[in-house]
Structure 1
Amino acid sequence: MKRIFLFVVTNLAILLVLSITLRLLGVDRMLDEQGVGINYNSLLVMAAVIGFGGSLISLAMSKWSAKRMTGAVVIEQPSDPTERWLVETVRRQAERVGIGMPEVAIYEAPDMNAFATGMNRNEALVAVSTGLLQAMTKDEIEGVLAHEISHVANGDMVTLALIQGVVNTFVIFLSRVIGHFVDRVIFKTEREYGPAFMVTTLIAQMVLGILASIIVMWFSRQREFRADAGGAQLAGRNKMIAALERLQRRHEPSQLPERLEAFGISGGEGGLRTLFMSHPPLEVRIAALRAMT
């Protein structure tokens, strides 16, 4: 529940800041130009500005924020054989899928994890934890790196941001329509907006935000299957399966910050909670790889 709560709160916080900014700029006044009516075109434009604004700002800052949240150190000049192998493996895989060489980084964390992020597939960041380097074999690490490179090649970071933007837009639009209806029809407010509008809008935005997160997380799980398949093609299916089996045998809580968990290699649980998980259960991912032709 903590992950769900923080995911929703983070998005609502971004939407709230942008909403207040546009209100101060007078954009909200455009929506009430027709007395008790509502200007749906203006509302949709404002919702899109707020909805996509938050997602695109997060995407633009993704590499910068990821480095600072994890303490990841980019390998400028490899200082040992492990770093040299890491950089060369990423370079070889990036060349095979036709993307620019990503920055390669290592961050201190005891769990086995890795992530890829960045707003441009030719200027991405691939980072691995010290726990992963210590606990996995080179074949398994190669599978993990191939999975992350596949995320970059598929443009998953950009696509996820766009989907989040679309979802945010409809959450804002529908919540304000609901707030307008309650304020004007039920409470009979005739001028400006009454307290019922703000309260109803905030409640509707929270409820719709939770429902919308199910859509976003569903897409995130599908991209994990695609990245697993891409990793199997790049590094070999056995290496990809071996990496996931290693994660399964040593299942431990992710140490990645909440905002980066969707970009990690591990994660996912069974049951109803799967609806709100960014990753499918490991056993399901392994079964999907074994079923590949």
Structure 2
Amino acid sequence: MMRILLFLGTNLAVLLIASITLSLLGFNGIMAANGVDLNLNSLLIFCAVFGFAGSLFSLFISKWMAKMTTGTEIISQPRTRHEQWLLHTVEQLARDAGIKMPEVGIFPAYEANAFATGWNKNDALVAVSQGLLERFSPDEVKAVLAHEIGHVANGDMVTLALIQGVVNTFVMFFARIFGNFVDRVIFKNEEGHGIAYYVATIVAELVLGILATIIVMWFSRRREFRADEAGARLAGTSAMVGALQRLRAEQGVPVQMPDSLAAFGINGTLKHGLAGLFMSHPPLEERIETLMRRRG
């Protein structure tokens, strides 16, 4: 319920900012002067600006948000030989992948997980959970780190942000077309935007937002296979398979990654049926089988 309320509040704020921005930019309203027709070019430009602004802003603050929401502690000066090994391993993997050394951190979580984030491949953050470091072998930890370095080297954070920007644009675009149709055609409102426009637009954004999430999560699942391949290339296929098998053995442990970082972790919560459409990660069995075929 709180998530829905936050969504609605954000949407209303966007509508207010949009109205002010259109006036300042001299758009004189998105509605055309001749009845119920929309000025589609102006509407599409407006939706693209706000659709991409949200996703790109999230991308630019992703490292800061990751540190704040997970409690990640950055290793600036290694205090133990384990931290020294972690920094050395990430440095080696980054060099082999052709990217600059990312920031490295550890976050306090029992479940075995890791994530990578950052606005570009040469200014990234790679972090692993305390639980993963304690229970995984060095080869398995290296494979997990290689998987995350693969995300960074493939530019997955930027790609996902751009995809999110595209779907945001069309969610806003078609929701406002629907809102205009309800307001003008069904309720016969010919003067400005009536309450029907705002209600219909919000409802349409909720429905289209769910469909858009399915699209984004499909791309996210495709990304995982590429990162697994990168992990196998950098750390060895056997080590990558072993790490995924260890993750599968721990599937009973709840994954408590923040929603904003779930798509960038090595592991995700397993869902079945229609809920599987909203998974950020493919089933571990499928990922293991794919790597086994690659090794064969």
2-structure distance, mates of 1:52, 1:10: 19
SS at match of 1:265: coil
1:32 aligns with 2:31: yes
1-structure distance, mates of 2:8, 2:158: 20
**Deviation, structure 1 residue 160:** 0.2
> What is the number of equivalent residue pairs in this alignment?
289
**Deviation, structure 1 residue 44:** 0.4
Where does structure 1 lack aligned partners over 5 or more consecutive residues? none
Q: 1:57 to 1:17 in 2, by over 3 A?
A: farther
Query: Residue 263 of structure 2 corresponds to which residue in structure 1?
Result: 262
| Aligned partners of 1:147 and 1:228 also within 8 Å | yes
SS at match of 1:116: strand
Structure-to-structure mapping, 1:1-293, within 5 angstroms: 6=3, 16-27=12-23, 29-36=28-35, 37-251=37-251, 252-267=253-268, 268-293=270-295
1-structure distance, mates of 2:10, 2:164: 12
1-structure distance, mates of 2:66, 2:8: 20
2-structure distance, mates of 1:29, 1:158: 34
Question: Amino acid of the residue matched to residue 280 of structure 1?
Answer: P
SS at match of 1:128: strand
SS at match of 1:112: coil
Identity of paired residues, percent?
54
| Aligned partners of 2:115 and 2:264 also within 8 Å | yes
2-structure distance, mates of 1:122, 1:10: 33
Question: Amino acid of the residue matched to residue 72 of structure 2?
Answer: A
Question: Amino acid of the residue matched to residue 195 of structure 1?
Answer: I
**Deviation, structure 1 residue 195:** 1.2
1-structure distance, mates of 2:160, 2:28: 32
SS at match of 1:34: coil
**Deviation, structure 1 residue 117:** 0.2
Where does structure 2 lack aligned partners over 5 or more consecutive residues? none
Which string of whole-angstrom CA distances, capped at 9 and with x for unpartnered residues, describes residues 1-56 of structure 1? x9xx95x8777765543332121334474212414231111100110011001001
TM-score (norm 2): 0.93
Q: 1:193 to 1:46 in 2, by over 3 A?
A: same
**Deviation, structure 1 residue 249:** 0.6
**Deviation, structure 1 residue 259:** 1.3
SS at match of 1:104: strand
Which string of whole-angstrom CA distances, capped at 9 and with x for unpartnered residues, describes residues 245-292 of structure 1? 111111111121121111111114343221001001111111111111
SS at match of 1:126: strand
1-structure distance, mates of 2:9, 2:263: 19
Superposed CA RMSD: 1.8
Question: Amino acid of the residue matched to residue 24 of structure 1?
Answer: I
Question: Amino acid of the residue matched to residue 118 of structure 2?
Answer: G
| Aligned partners of 2:11 and 2:202 also within 8 Å | no
SS at match of 1:111: coil
2-structure distance, mates of 1:14, 1:86: 40
2-structure distance, mates of 1:94, 1:131: 23
Q: 1:15 to 1:149 in 2, by over 3 A?
A: farther
Question: Amino acid of the residue matched to residue 196 of structure 1?
Answer: A
2-structure distance, mates of 1:277, 1:112: 18
**Deviation, structure 1 residue 194:** 1.3
Q: 1:13 to 1:166 in 2, by over 3 A?
A: farther
